[in-house]
Amino acid sequence: MTEATMTVPAHVPAHLVRDFNIFFDGSYDEVFSHWKGLHDEDRPEIFWTPRNGGHWIVTRAEDVETVYGNGDLFTTVPYGNAIPYRNTPAPPLPIASEPPEHTEYRRLINPFFFPKRIQKVGEHARQLTRDIMDRLIPQGGCEFYNDFAMFMPIYAFLGLAGLPEEDWEMLMPWAQTVVREPDMEVAAATTRDAWAYLKSRVDVRRTQPGDDPLTALVQGEAFGRRLDENECVGSALNILFAGVDTTPATLSFVAHHLATHPDHRRALIDKPSLIPAAVEEYLRRFPAGVTGRGVKNDMEYKGVTMKQGDPVLSPALLGNLDERRFPDAMTVDFDRKNVAGQTLTFGAGPHRCIGMMLARMQLRVFLEEWLPRLPDFWVAEDDVPLVRCGTAMAMTHLPLRW
């Protein structure tokens, strides 16, 4: 393990080193037991993995919350929240900023995520869902990730962002490469392509303004001035990569769970008033993002010596599967109490996800539209679903039949 030995810094003691690579593929059971295994009694709760340039991983809900939410200890400046760090032409914003600058950047795009807007996008998402289902139902089955999950939320997102629907074909592979490609050179080249694309879209807004976040970035003011080009494109990049892959990823796990749990399907069909609680519980059980921070200053954190700039991964999944916060955490239970208040799916603190209402709405629309029309569906017996993990995890192959 040559790379491994190189990426254990001198301040990390040997008893806190474990080999864990966030980039891996596997079946549903393999993937979740691999992650959940990090809670085993004989594992340190905070450990260093030499993989991907080397980084800490915190495994318990309390620490995941602190890493996301305590900007005095853990920061997104200067690189953002991706581990390993993604080489972008300029920092992605608002994620790679901290208050008070962060508040200014976020203020410009906030209105596009207010309930009235989301309601409008919701109507679009509902119509899209109906149209896609009209096409899929006569087929007797589909590969859910490519045939559904990647369409509905992304077309709805493009509508919100004021981007042309035909751009979908280009955007989707980019988003997937950026979040699940272990080769940093490939990820960086893709990011540069996305940067050039967004720069051209941002430029258009200077002469042809619309009612969309890109126009708000170009025309609006922060810090008493217009944003420069890097700030505008960096913000567009953050919205794009945070918004495009995450909801499809969550939908893929929800569909898999429903396909393998007829009782849960039945419960939601018989009692649709359960759907909002089901959305929260699915978000808890299947959080897509696997992100983190850098250590702000040299410090001791819970007895662990951390140095300024050490990357710290805080997977929401581990926080949400922590039995100390959610008893019987691996089980999907629509009757679980106070899920939204404790879940780490959308992070914590000032960077808490700006798109969370949009994501919730899209999941709700899916459950409301899909289940009454397709009450019975299952995983194809002659095929195997595949989960891919990286800085976001998704079931990228989900063969369904009905």
For ligand HEM, which stretch binds (CB under 6 A), given 135-143, 272-280, 345-353, 382-390? 345-353
Which residue lies nearer to ligand HEM by CB, 157 or 195? 157
241 touches ligand HEM (CB under 6 A): no
Q: What is the CA radius of gyration of the chain?
A: 21
95 touches ligand HEM (CB under 6 A): yes
- Binders of ligand HEM in range 351-370 (CB under 6 A): 351, 353-355, 358-359
The two beta strands, 378-379 and 399-401, are: antiparallel
Q: Are 396 and 387 in contact (CB under 8 A)?
A: yes
- Binders of ligand HEM in range 100-159 (CB under 6 A): 106, 157
Q: From 279, 217, 272, 202, select the one nearest 247 (Cα to Cα).
A: 279
Q: Are 183 and 87 in contact (CB under 8 A)?
A: no
Q: How far is the CB of 247 from ligand HEM (least distance, A)?
A: 4
Contacts (Cβ under 8 Å, ≥6 apart) of 31: 24, 25, 387, 389, 393
Cis (ω within 30 of 0) for the bond into 78? yes
- Binders of ligand HEM in range 36-75 (CB under 6 A): 68
Q: How far is the CB of 387 from ligand HEM (least distance, A)?
A: 15
Q: From 296, 294, 298, select the one nearest 307 (Cα to Cα).
A: 298
Q: At what angle do helices 275-285 and 356-373 cross, to 10 degrees?
A: 120
Detail the DSSP E strand segments found in 235-338: 292-295, 299-301, 304-306, 311-313
Q: Are 388 and 177 in contact (CB under 8 A)?
A: no
345 touches ligand HEM (CB under 6 A): yes
| Residue showing the smallest CB distance to ligand HEM in the complex | 355
- Binders of ligand HEM in range 272-311 (CB under 6 A): 287-289, 291
For ligand HEM, which stretch binds (CB under 6 A), given 38-46, 51-59, 240-248, 371-379? 240-248
For ligand HEM, which stretch binds (CB under 6 A), given 162-170, 184-192, 237-245, 259-267? 237-245
243 touches ligand HEM (CB under 6 A): yes
The residues binding ligand HEM (CB under 6 A) are: 68, 81, 94-95, 106, 157, 238-239, 242-243, 246-247, 250, 287-289, 291, 316, 345-347, 351, 353-355, 358-359
